[in-house]
Structure 1
Amino acid sequence: MATPGLGTSVPVWLSEEDLGCIICQGLLEWPTTLPCGHSFCLRCLKGLWITQRAGVNGRPWACPTCREGPETKPTLRKNPLLQDLADKYRQAAHELEAGPETVPAPAPPRRPAPPPPVAVQKSTTEFIRELTEVFQQFVDVVKGLQTQRPRLGSGLDNELGVLGTAPSSEEEHSLSSPKLVTSSASETKIREILHNLKEIQEKLQGSVPRTDAPGEQVQEMPSSSLCLLPDQRSPVPRKASQFALYAISPTFDLGSLSCSLEVSNSCRTVTVSRCLQPYRWSPERFLISQVLCSEALSSGQKYWEVDTRNCNHWAVGVASWGMKRDQMLGRTMDSWCIEWKGPGQFSAWAMVKKTDLHLDRPEVVGVWLDLELGKLAFYSVSDEERLLYECEVSASCPLHPAFWLYGLSPGNYLEIKQVHPGVRTVDS
């Protein structure tokens, strides 16, 4: 087989982990390679050597990955090959994020894609709003009839009350039968309203798959609710959490906090920092953007919730305090997690084994830990808990809530929610 020439382009699949720095969890910037073969950002490596001081065996220039420390401080030089690869990867990622303006549009699919659920929901809301408006007009006309009935006589005089005016004598001379015209107008108006109502009901029946006709449901509604739009109704109670009695509110441990993260004063919100923080070096501090919680869980059942809506890439799980500080959550025998890295990249990690989860992104993750049975479960929390993943955990040592945040997205944050017993509510 002929060997490709230097000018031939060969597709190579790379991920950010292949060209990443474990210190800042970002793409390599001015990469330098140590004698042991591991590469890091020059600025990150120098900053780490300054903060850790003692290093390994009194050598502050030890490698953060393998802990190998040469007898003399190595000379740090730029690795041009890695820099070129990182630049090309960064440019390709930028072009993908820019969208169709810079990337050629893909060929149209053979079959039209089904409309997204959001579009169906929006059209249903519009139909309901139209139906509500027509009902309101109908109610106004009926109320007008009811109001005028006691004041006016029977027959054609009662029909005049629909408009609320009586014809003058000039009108009587100019119009042969004004009362009949008024009656005809009111009847026409009612017929138009009923016709519109029937059309909207047919639209609802054709657009919303349900067993009951929309008209039957409207008849069951109280008259006081006919004037309210869906977004004006009172909050609808949602099912209480089945784990609320076991809920805890853990707090982030500052000693394990990576230098690329910072926490709020309440220690329940952790944010990707825009620059490395000058935390005091400690062997318990993570070298990558991870953090544990202070609470050591060793018995019973525990539950907590994490709001992930403000973080693009994250991992949530549990780990022992002895987890290696240069290892990734879930990639060790003493850590378990679920991990979101983007659409189609949702997975679970247990016993160093990855399981793909073909599910939508959960906005709030509920974590259930049963140390009596050795069970760990993750739920998507909305109106009720929906199981995402379940696995067994080792209870041989206490476990701590554990988190990972993507180091290339400054400002992204995770928040530990306070769970209170009772019923959740949400505006309909």
Structure 2
Amino acid sequence: MDTGLAIPVWLAEDDLGCIICQGLLTRPATLPCGHSFCRDCLKGLWAAGSASPRRSCPTCRESTPAPLHLRKNTLLQELVDKYSRALRELGAGPDPGPAPGPAPGPAQGRALGPAPAPAPPRRTAQLPAAAQKRIIEVVRELAELAEQLVNIVKSLQSQSDVPESGLDNDRSTLSMSMASSGEMDLSLASSKPMTSNTPERKTRDILHHLEEIQKKLRENFTWKEPLEEQMQGAISPTFDLRSHSCSLTVSKDGLAVTVSHCPQTHLWNHERFVTCQALCSQAFSSGRQYWEVDTQHCSHWAVGVASWGMKRTQILGRTSDSCCIEWKGTGQLSAWHMVEETVLGSDRPTVVGIWLDLEEGKLAFYSVANQEKLIYECPVPASSPLHPAFWLYGLNPGNALTIRPVNV
């Protein structure tokens, strides 16, 4: 073949892209399964996801042998360099978008001919959104696995807790009987006591380590959606004047609810809560919404979501159609979901961010006073519209919860 012949090849940017950073490949490395990624993106994703020496492909999840030395795929690098050079020659810049005009073939792209191979632009070390999302999924799976292991060890521990006193009494009786008959074996009498508690001690140690891992996963990792996505769904819901109990008053702007110093003269109706609770007027059955609640002026509270059909005699979180996190005045933060309580810790969030994603069917609570940190996440049913819901426990006059405007 004539080496000087240039055959146009139509390539789309996706053909030379990395699914981790969503950009052109930089120092591409190809795994044994055949998929290629930026070497630094792949190493960063593996380093953040797990400490295990065995790795898997982000595309097909096929395990790779360990240790694995990532080598640069020179052929792919040359194609990327030529593609970048072609774009610059067409005036598209170092990081162009799709080519204008109709596609020259089945997929939009550029024709590549022989060209020198300039160095590609450097990329920042920050993990892209796609990699962050995968890390979130991996750590969520690790947390679920840690919880399962804790439950398994606790179950084994409860099954192995057999009283030893009866066995010890039997041994003592047997020894006395043999001694009285003069048939006692001195080797048995002088033997060391049995270390039957060694497996139990190991089980306790394993359980302790698992609980420590579980605690670190909960406290030190933020399973949060990108902040930009939350800001797109930011709202400032207002309290509904029909649902709040007679012990509460709503501010003129509808953004604050306060325990009244004296009984209110609200007209009673079946839509009012008997307890010190309230709903917001807005109802959500689809989409993604985010709002924040200032809780620092309330000693005991719960914030979450509930359907309008929640019984007015019941408490938030104690029904199948409501979910919340609750701060108890005793210094305990809990989550209530499907009528079950999960103790979360003893740190009190002064501002709670609530992320309701009905497209994926999940609800997340964040502590957002200083920096955004996940508190709790759970699935939510999409069978009926959900309202922001609140509970101010104790009827302490002056206790208040406020919807805090989110700066977009």
Same fold judged by TM-score > 0.5?
no
The TM-score normalised by the length of structure 1 is 0.42
Larger Cα Rg: Structure 1 or Structure 2?
A: 1
Identify which of structures 1 and 2 has the higher relative contact order when contacts are C-alpha pairs closer than 8 Å and 6+ apart.
1
TM-score (norm 2): 0.44
